[in-house]
A and B are shown apart, each in its own frame.
Chain A
Amino acid sequence: MSNEHIIIQGSNVSHAAESAGHHDDHGHDHHEQHFIWKYIFCQDHKVIGKQFLITGIIWAMIGALMSVFFRLQLGFPDSTFPIMEKVLGEWAKGGKLSPEFYYALVTMHGTILVFFVLTAGLSGTFANILIPLQIGARDMASPFMNMLSYWFFFLASILMFVSLFVETGPASGGWTTYPPLSALKEASLGSGVGMDLWLLSMATFVVSSLLGGLNYISTVLNMRTKGMTMTRLPLTIWALFFTAVLGVLSFPVLFSGFVLLIFDRNFGTSFYLSEIFIGGKALPHIGGSAILYQHLFWFLGHPEVYIIMLPGMGMASEVLSNHSRKPIFGYFAMIISLVGITLLAFLVWAHHMFVTGMSPFLGSIFVLLTLLIAVPSAVKVFNWITTIWRGNIRFNPPMLFALGFVSLFISGGLTGIFLGNSALDIHLHDTYFVVAHFHIVMGVSAFFGMFAGIYHWFPKMYGRFLNNTLAYIHFFITFIGAYLIFWPMHYEGIAGMPRRYYDYSAWESFKHFQGVNAFISIVATVVFFAQLLFVFNFFMSIFRGRKVTEKNPWGSPTLEWTTEINPGHGNWVGEIPTVYRWAYDYKDDGHGNDFIPQTRPLAPGEEEH
């Protein structure tokens, strides 16, 4: 199925096909686009992907800096840090965070990392860059919607950024923003204007995510090049496809939850509010349920975890296979496990609510479904390990990060077995055990998937390599640091130490963890600087990195490496290549290469995978 004519039908992209056509006839002499159309309001999926990535990197630095600040408070509650006052001003008077702003930082750290970095920055980047390139399409199904998707994200970013500067501070009710705390201005400073901006920003973010997601789904389903059947797709595309499906089906529910919260906050409704006495007076609200919000929130909130994980899984599969010079083991099992995870992701949300007083019977159903997810996850892990078995492993930076991804995914996944079991969750819920669990599995592990992707596809994005020495330093500090930070937190959690506390020194049961908290804070600061090193490497290498000199530097069979080193809008000069085989044919091609590109027809007598 060729998508050439599909593209021409869309008025917005006709120039893409045209410019590709021009290449055929006149080489490179088509007129240069203006800077604004080429780099800002650009409809080229590769540029949009880079926009998502760079915005994500900026947010990641802001979010990580916030965590350094609140970790300093947590690790050293009796010290003052004048530098914090310089950066945060009033909120850290005398170099010490105020409790309100501590909570605001925790909330913003979560919101930014979960949504702006690991959703938009991760699947926004790689779905955009990889889907058209790996399926053999000139662009997305709707490049214009794709552009809008970025600009709605940009608007959401602006709103969130502005909320950091309002007088009462940004939202401070945790990234989950449970009402009534988030619904009532009397309940906390952060529930004022900051919360309104947070909700507006997140609503805009949902729009961005839906525009992107619908586009990714229709592109994967309709615009594959000739011969690219679904079962010849690289696993990255499968993973990004299911990520988009998850987002499209669950973000609207979150949106409805936010709309009701906006109504409760501003228009006197009582969806989430009932029988509340606060700020010296009884409120008129009766009959709402605060738990309703949690159901709506977690109906997205849990799939969101997989929205964050799946792209990393897909990219790790691709990278592990490529740099071991071996096909991914169990291609179909990998797809089936992705399907399993996607389906189950919608059926487990209430395991975040075991201690809300829900019916024990309902709880038991969610225990069963939650622990079921361990099965497809285990299948994936075993397949990854078998993929590197008897491989020919090249420890390039993307490979190291992919291996780190697997290691962290195992560690973080196993602790999920504790939390998914309600009988164990009843003690561990909302303690540092949870913090350790989700930071390892959907924080650091997802980041490792993202780093693997960035190091692997940076040559495709910018035609240059990232600096390897910096990459190796980055890897080892981050990998070791992540375990040093989060491993001890499990112990704090088992001892019942609650999360989201500003200071533990008044607690007989938890105050002896002070030394560990200080240790964690120091390591977190070191790891933060290692990330800055990566960011520096990233921006420096865009301009100064070693140039890519061959089309296919990693020796990969997939389509994106058949384009020019710096592909223009339209991706391929001339015809889009036809695909004849699956994406993992790492075998002797008879000419001394250890892989066969997807574009080479099957040899006589050769069986397809």
Chain B
Amino acid sequence: MSVFIIITLIILVFIIIYQIGKASEHSAVLRGGEKVKAQTNNIMAVLLLVVFALGMWGIWFCHSIFVDRMLPVAACRTGVNYDNMFYYTIVVTGIVFFATQAVLFWFCYKYRASENRPSFFFAHSNKLELIWTTIPAIAMAILVAIGLRNWYDVTAPAPADATIVEVVGKQFNWIVRYPGKDNELGKRDFRSINDATNILGMDWTDPHNMDDIISQSGELHVVVNKPVKLLICSRDVIHDVGLPHFRMKMDAVPGITTTLCFTPTITTDSMKLITKNPDFVYEIACDQLCGKGHYAMRGTVVVQSQADYDKWLASQQSYYAMNHSAPADAKPAATTEAPKADTVKAVTKN
């Protein structure tokens, strides 16, 4: 009922505005159509100029609000390059933006209809076309050059000493696996997966699997200033490892292993000081729509010193040991299974 009342009200208001509009058009005709038309035209020209001025103020105002809410300094070398390149691109596009918008709105005002000044018949000029084909082409060439240099830098093969970590997405959390003492990840097969004791389908006949560790908290721990190579997979649908603080992103696709390599340069603790936020965490955001819990598919990265990292790694039990020392008790696996569900408001219960 109330929906109908609201709809009726809206239509009523519209009819009133329409009738006012119609009446004003009729009265315009009575008062001498051409004169009123010219008046309206001038009003519109001024209004456009006002909108432009307000817009410029709005851009400045918007920027002043957001400038403190942006991401903190990039936490890896390629990320710093990223920010520089972003800055160059902002400068180039910013100049074009302000110049073209200003000219557009200024022309609107300057060349508003006037009886004394006929329009200027000016249909083409090859010289002008040449100028504004060449200049954007050169600007684009420069941006492409900077872009490709950074692109090949970001996607370069990982250095040989990089720590290898496997990150597997599933609806709706991340599973992080470390290769353990032998420094080699064991084989796994999706047909061996069971959610109680083998969430990654690790092949227990492969000796490399015996010491592999699955992070119990679901956190990804990495050492500061040491390259890390992520092997990214998915168990079900496409997910995406989004690392905003490292300016990186890579899809997790079932059946395909993708990689991402970066060298974190700022520990989580230092970042807490930089951002003056004691709750700061590096977050992994799933960036590919993966189902109803997509928005809650949150992982965390802990960047720490070598000593802290070693201490943490020593505290972790191998996944095999966890699930085979006490075969009757499947609970530890269950806790590994959904470590993040609590951070989200009543979402992921099936």
Contacts and interface: CB of A to CB of B under 8 A. Distances in A.
Nearest to B286: A498
Nearest to B128: A386
B343 interface: yes
A134 to B, nearest CB: 19
Contacts of B122: 326-327, 329, 386, 389-390
A246 interface: no
B143 interface: yes
Interface string A461-484: 000000111101100100110011
A536 B237 CA distance: 44
Given A371-B140, A375-B140, A355 B240 contact: yes
Contacts of B193: 277, 282
Contacts of B237: 178, 180-181, 184, 187, 276, 278
A379 interface: yes
B104 A406 contact: yes
A403 B108 contact: yes
A476 B236 contact: no
A379 B144 CA distance: 19
Given A473-B17, A505-B345, A86 B3 contact: yes
Contacts of B3: 83, 86-87
Interface in A120-156: none
Interface residues of B, number: 125
A491 B114 contact: no
Contacts of A540: 15, 18
Contact of B89 (A287, A392, A417): A417
A479 B51 contact: yes
B288 interface: yes
Contact of A327 (B58, B105, B121): B121
B117 interface: yes
Interface string B82-112: 1001100100110011001101110110011
Nearest to B129: A333
Contact of B132 (A86, A379, A390, A391): A379
Contacts of A375: 133, 136-137, 140
B253 A356 contact: yes
Contacts of A429: 249, 287
A503 B119 contact: no
- The bracket for how many chain A residues form the interface is 35 or more
A496 B129 contact: no
Contacts of A513: 69
A468 B152 contact: no
B118 A388 contact: no
A324 B119 contact: yes
B279 A508 contact: yes
A263 interface: no
A103 interface: yes
B25 A178 contact: no
A282 B191 contact: yes
Interface stretch (A7-15, A43-51, A393-401): A393-401
B37 to A, nearest CB: 8
A536 B10 CA distance: 10
A495 interface: yes
Interface in B108-156: 108, 111-114, 117-125, 128-129, 132-133, 136-137, 140, 143-144, 146-152, 154-155
Contacts of A469: 17, 20-22, 24-25
A391 B119 contact: yes
A491 B62 contact: yes
B23 to A, nearest CB: 9
Contacts of B21: 467-470
Nearest to B59: A487
A178 B234 CA distance: 14
Contact of A495 (B6, B15, B69, B136): B69
Given A187-B237, A427-B82, A274 B89 contact: no
A367 B145 CA distance: 10
Contact of B111 (A330, A390, A431): A390
Interface in A301-356: 324-333, 355-356
Contact of A385 (B100, B121, B343): B100
A491 B201 CA distance: 41
B190 interface: yes
Given A83-B3, A385-B100, A417-B93, A288 B255 contact: yes
A364 B151 contact: yes
A284 to B, nearest CB: 9
A510 B58 CA distance: 22
Contacts of B128: 330, 382, 386
A189 interface: yes
A315 B270 CA distance: 56
Given A277-B201, A414-B96, A472 B108 contact: no
A276 B289 contact: no
Interface in B34-79: 40-41, 44-45, 47-48, 51, 54-55, 58-59, 62, 66, 69-71
A39 interface: no
Interface stretch (B177-185, B219-227, B292-300, B309-317): B292-300
Contact of B236 (A180, A287, A382, A415): A180
Nearest to A488: B62
B250 interface: yes
B251 interface: yes
Nearest to B23: A469
Contact of A392 (B14, B118, B144, B249): B118
A537 B15 CA distance: 9
A365 B254 CA distance: 26
A580 interface: no
Contacts of B137: 375
Contacts of A403: 48, 104, 108
B306 interface: no
A305 B277 CA distance: 42
B294 A424 contact: no
A381 interface: yes
Contact of A427 (B59, B195, B247, B345): B247
B34 to A, nearest CB: 12
Nearest to B24: A469
A161 interface: no
17 contacts: A181-B238, A277-B193, A278-B171, A278-B237, A326-B122, A355-B249, A367-B148, A382-B128, A388-B111, A393-B41, A406-B104, A423-B147, A423-B150, A491-B62, A496-B244, A496-B245, A501-B295
Interface of B: 2-3, 6, 10-11, 14-15, 17-18, 20-22, 24-25, 40-41, 44-45, 47-48, 51, 54-55, 58-59, 62, 66, 69-71, 82, 85-86, 89, 92-93, 96-97, 100-101, 103-105, 107-108, 111-114, 117-125, 128-129, 132-133, 136-137, 140, 143-144, 146-152, 154-155, 170-171, 190-191, 193, 195, 201, 232, 235-238, 240, 242, 244-245, 247-251, 253-256, 258-259, 277, 279-281, 283, 285-296, 298, 343-345, 347
Interface of A: 83, 86-87, 98-100, 103, 172-174, 178, 180-181, 184, 187-189, 273-278, 280, 282, 286-291, 324-333, 355-357, 360, 363-364, 367-368, 371-372, 374-375, 378-379, 381-383, 385-386, 388-395, 400, 403, 406-407, 410-411, 414-415, 417-418, 421-424, 426-427, 429-431, 467-470, 472-473, 476, 479-480, 483-484, 487-488, 491, 494-496, 498, 500-510, 512-513, 529, 532-533, 536-537, 540, 544, 546, 584, 586-588, 594, 609
Given A393-B113, A421-B143, A506-B343, 8 more contacts: A187-B291, A275-B254, A290-B256, A331-B123, A391-B107, A423-B150, A506-B344, A536-B14
Nearest 10 CB-CB pairings of A with B: A496-B244, A274-B255, A469-B21, A357-B258, A395-B44, A501-B295, A423-B150, A360-B155, A390-B120, A421-B147
